[in-house]
Amino acid sequence: MKEFSKEIYLKWYEDMTMWRRFEDKCRSLYLKQKIRGFLHLYNGQEAIPAGFTHAMDLTKDSMITAYRCHIHPMAMGVDPKRIMAELCGKATGTSGGMGGSMHIFSKEHRFYGGHGIVGGQIPLGAGIAFADKFFDRKAVNICFFGDGAARQGSLHETFNMAMNWKLPVVFVVENNQYAMGTSVKRTANHEDIYKLGLGYEMPCLAVDAMDPEKVAEAAYEAIERARRGDGPTFIEARTYRFRGHSMSDAEPYRSKEEVAIHKKDDPIELIKERILVNSWATEEELEVLDNKSRDFVEECIEFMENSPYPDVEKVYEYVYAQENYPFLDKLEN
């Protein structure tokens, strides 16, 4: 694995501060009704994609996740401007404005969504890994899901097949402790979600997911295990979201004091402290990076604002595979 160098830490700092500001701007755009529907923000969980993409081979490995999906594709190399456009339903978006917040997708960068069905991506991640093995691509799929999705039956079916066929997939539960709004401790008889892998003799572990170094170390070991043909690993990435489940979440299940305590473990502040302690940059140099990320997010918004909405005629273009589908003949206007 690449070493945790000065360059890596400065990249992490620049990326993670930009990701945080991107999500904060999304919140603002939602309140202005420029983003419609649902919006799930990633504040607090940035160390996970930072750590995983450090350990991945981005020329062939792939990623799939749930609907809190704006930041993962950025880490994979997708242009944030196109993600912002997609969030606002613009034609220049990653899915032509047809997917929105929960369905970011990029075949070019091997980022396969963005899935609104809770846990729906778990068997799909194993399916991508099956294809990688079948075609001998020496690639690994990273399959993310939330702690709420860990209670889906499809997880058990997928774990069983993935171990039986030794598929090159790393399953990662991003345990931010509350799913939609119910504590992990209230949804099962145990709080160690990673132990679900034990029933399938799948290597499994928990990792402090507020630290990108620890995430990267666990990710690299799991990815290399999968790549050499030894099958999947299940990682519980223990994190904490600083904002509600979605924009409609009033957060009655936790106190402001609890959130404040967890913010002391902010992964961005952790990165900043290590940079300063190692004299890799000064406060003034980090401020330059802060301003750079702030300016770039404004560029994303400008790109979105100057982009057109999709043509109305395209509304059925991606729905029916059959040309001249009979239902279309019955439509008026």
Q: Which two tokens stand for residue 146?
A: 């939330």
Angle, CA 52 vertex, CA 179 and CA 167 arms, to 5°: 85
Q: From edge to edge, which strands make up the β-sheet containing 233-238?
A: 62-64, 141-146, 169-175, 233-238, 204-208
Angle between helices 283-305 and 80-87 (to 10 degrees): 50
Over residues 112-140, the mean pLDDT reads: 97
In contact, 73 and 93? CB cutoff 8 Å: no
Residues in the chain: 333
CA angle 150, 171, 259 (to 5 degrees): 60
Separation of alpha carbons 226 and 163, rounded Å: 11
pLDDT at residue 75 greater than cutoff 60 = yes
Mean per-residue pLDDT, 225-251 = 97
Between CA 142 and CA 122 the distance in angstroms is 10
**pLDDT above 60 (res 127):** yes
Sign of CA dihedral 211, 212, 214, 219: positive
Residue 95 has pLDDT above 70, yes or no: yes
The distance of Cα 8 from the centroid of its chain, to the nearest Å, equals 20
CB atoms inside a 10 Å sphere around CB 261 = 11
Query: Any long-range contacts for 294-303 (C-beta under 8 Å, 24+ apart)?
Result: 294/21, 296/18, 296/80, 297/18, 297/21, 297/22, 297/25, 297/80, 299/81, 300/22, 300/25, 300/80, 300/81, 300/83, 300/84, 301/25, 301/29, 301/84, 303/81, 303/84, 303/85, 303/92
- The rounded distance, in Å, linking the Cα atoms of 39 and 246 is 6
**Mean pLDDT (whole number) for 241-260:** 96
Phi, psi of 282 (to 5 degrees): -95, 170
Q: Tokens for 304, please give them.
A: 């979105």
Q: What is the mean pLDDT of the chain?
A: 95
299: which 2 tokens?
A: 């560029």
Which range, of 69-83, 120-134, 303-317, averages the lowest pLDDT? Answer: 303-317
Q: Is the pLDDT of residue 14 over 90?
A: yes
- Asked if 179 and 249 count as a contact pair (C-beta separation under 8 A), the reply is no
